[in-house]
């Protein structure tokens, strides 16, 4: 019985942009998840009293906080469509373009949440707009994370795919850490009224 040896596929062991892509996916994921998690801190401290408490004031003291936390949870439902759409578009348009698009979507939604008028200023639109922007954040987070993980592995040296695939994973706790430290720093240097504004 004769066997034909299969040709061995040799992938580049080292490419010039391997480390840049790994670092880029780590930084991009950290920034993306910073934006995602900063909302969680704001939901409890700022958004509930300014946007949701007046909306449900007849339902009790904690109702506004519960609605605010529900907007945190709703974003997780939109991560899956974000992965599907960004993955499909990434195949067609390129992963870098989709990573930039998801980062821009997340950054824009975060900025807009920061400058939204309160319930006292625009009434019922106040609880609706953060919800819509939070959906956009969830969509962007799903799209960015999947693309970053895939890109890190695609650009990794052949024998280091697991290591390089870990870089976007490291970005998530970095983003969470930054989102925890940022409000603490702002609180340390502002009055309560300045912090709420």
pLDDT of residue 16 exceeding 90:
no
Domain span including residue 93: 18-196
Measured N-to-C along each axis, helices 18-42 and 125-154 cross at an angle, to the nearest 10 degrees, of: 160
**Domain for residue 142, yes or no?**
yes
**Domain for residue 106, yes or no?**
yes
**Domain for residue 12, yes or no?**
no
Residue-wise pLDDT tens digits, 75-103: 889 999 999 999 899 889 988 888 889 98
**Domain for residue 188, yes or no?**
yes
Instruction: Tell me the CATH number at 102.
Output: 1.20.1250.20
* Number of structural domains found in the chain: 1
**Domain for residue 48, yes or no?**
yes
Note the helical H segments in 15-124. 18-42, 63-77, 79-93, 95-114, 119-122
Residue-wise pLDDT tens digits, 118-138: 888 998 898 889 999 999 999
**Domain for residue 107, yes or no?**
yes
b vs e for 133-159, b when ≥16 Cβ sit within 10 Å of the residue's Cβ?
bbbbbbbbbbbbbbbbbbbbbebbeee
């Amino acid at each position: 019985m004769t066997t034909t040896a299969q040709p061995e596929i040799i992938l580049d062991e080292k490419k010039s942009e391997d480390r840049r892509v790994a670092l880029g996916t780590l930084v991009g994921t950290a920034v993306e998840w910073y934006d995602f998690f900063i909302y969680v801190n704001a939901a409890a401290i700022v958004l509930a009293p300014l946007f949701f408490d007046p909306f449900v004031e007849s339902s009790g003291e904690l109702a506004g906080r519960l609605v605010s936390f529900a907007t945190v949870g709703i974003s997780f439902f939109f991560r899956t469509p974000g992965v599907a759409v960004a993955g499909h578009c990434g195949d067609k348009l390129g992963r870098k373009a989709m990573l930039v698009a998801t980062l821009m979507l997340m950054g824009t939604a975060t900025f807009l949440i920061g400058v939204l008028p309160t319930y006292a200023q625009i009434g019922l639109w106040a609880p609706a707009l953060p919800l819509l922007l939070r959906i956009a954040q969830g969509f962007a987070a799903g799209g960015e994370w999947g693309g970053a993980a895939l890109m890190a592995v695609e650009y990794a040296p052949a024998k280091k795919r697991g290591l390089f695939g870990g870089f976007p994973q490291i970005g998530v706790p970095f983003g969470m850490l930054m989102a925890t430290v940022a409000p603490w720093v702002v609180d340390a240097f502002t009055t309560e009224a300045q912090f709420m504004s």
